[in-house]
Amino acid sequence: MTVSSASSPVKERALRALGELPPFSPVLNRLIASLAHEDVSFAKLADLIEKDTVLAGNILRLVNSALYGLPGTINSIRHAVALLGITKLRNATLSMSVARMWNQVKTPPGWSMARFNLHSAGAAILADLIAQRLKVEYAEGAFAAGLFHDIGLLLVAVGLPEEYKQISILCQQDQKWKLEYELEVLGTTHTELSAEALAAWNLPQPIQMAVRYLDHPELDPSCQTHEIPLSRVLHAADNYVKAIGTSVSLFENDRGEARDVLEALSLGDSLPALLEEFENEFAAIKPYF
């Protein structure tokens, strides 16, 4: 199967749903800008987080959780930045801010925003941990790629509810979500829609490419480099998180394949420690979704 890039009225309707999503909060605007390599002051970001009492409270609860085991009580975002570093704080803030935005979206029957948020966060955390251990192209984009890889599916659910229902009925026959059914009904795939949504948000090209070729990383032009393409890392993270029972669709849970997708990346002896770190981080952030 090839990845389509042709435009279609159905595709255009789905992408218009991007404008129906809730507006970004000041924090999320600043985070998206940082992903797009714009000049961002993280001191200003800390100020914005502290002004958002719900977000600041959740971040401080997470930082003070058993996951980090920090001495004493951390009671300011600036202190959290000093102890954890910008990257971990940014990832947690991005996850919570995006989940809160998605939770305001009206979705069709059968759609679970809780499952969507959990799956997105799980894929983001795991992709980031993998990218830290391997020589991956644009490793710094792994978390964002994981977090936003299924936004195209959300756009279909929000902007094309009847078509989403049709695809869901077809997929139930096989007990697996299939891109072939998306092509049949929409003339495009949710991964292509995801990539185009991220282009509209001005996220870096490598993140767009990773999302576009998520299900077929062998087609990613990045495969020609000596580094592991980000699409391959995202493919493994997405499938592992589905396999352990955290999927957007109710019928995409195959625990028998869980480790296989990660072992294919040749992580070797680092795999057990990676999975332990993933389980701890994922468990710590689950209560916020």
Average pLDDT (74-82) is 87
Task: Say which residue, 9 or 136, is predicted with more confidence.
Answer: 136
Give me the phi and psi of 228, to 5 degrees please: -70, 125
- Is 5 exposed, middle or buried, given 0-12, 13-18 or 19+ CB atoms closer than 10 A? exposed
Confidence band for 144, pLDDT divided at 50, 70 and 90: very high
Residue 146 in tokens: 């994981």
* Beta carbons within 8 Å of 98's beta carbon, 6+ residues apart: 28, 117, 120, 147, 148
For the stretch 226-269, pLDDT in tens is: 789 999 999 999 999 998 888 887 555 555 566 788 888 888 88
Q: Would you state the pLDDT for residue 189?
A: 92
Check: CB of residue 212 under 8 Å from CB of residue 120: no
Confidence band for 1, pLDDT divided at 50, 70 and 90: very low
Average pLDDT (93-100) is 93
Check: CB of residue 211 under 8 Å from CB of residue 230: no
Q: Would you state the pLDDT for residue 5?
A: 45
Distance between CA atoms of residues 184 and 169, nearest Å: 13
Task: Say which residue, 255 or 67, is predicted with more confidence.
Answer: 67
Distance between CA atoms of residues 152 and 146, nearest Å: 13
Q: Would you state the pLDDT for residue 2?
A: 42
* Beta carbons within 8 Å of 107's beta carbon, 6+ residues apart: 113, 154, 157, 158
Q: Is the CATH number of domain 1-21+110-289 1.10.3210.10? A: yes
Listed by start position, the domains of the chain span 1-21+110-289, 22-104
For the stretch 153-173, pLDDT in tens is: 999 999 999 999 999 888 888
Q: Would you state the pLDDT for residue 232?
A: 94
Task: Say which residue, 99 or 110, is predicted with more confidence.
Answer: 99
Q: Would you state the pLDDT for residue 279?
A: 94
Distance between CA atoms of residues 126 and 82, nearest Å: 24
Is a pLDDT exceeding 80 seen at residue 225?
A: no
Q: What percent of the chain has pLDDT over 70?
A: 92
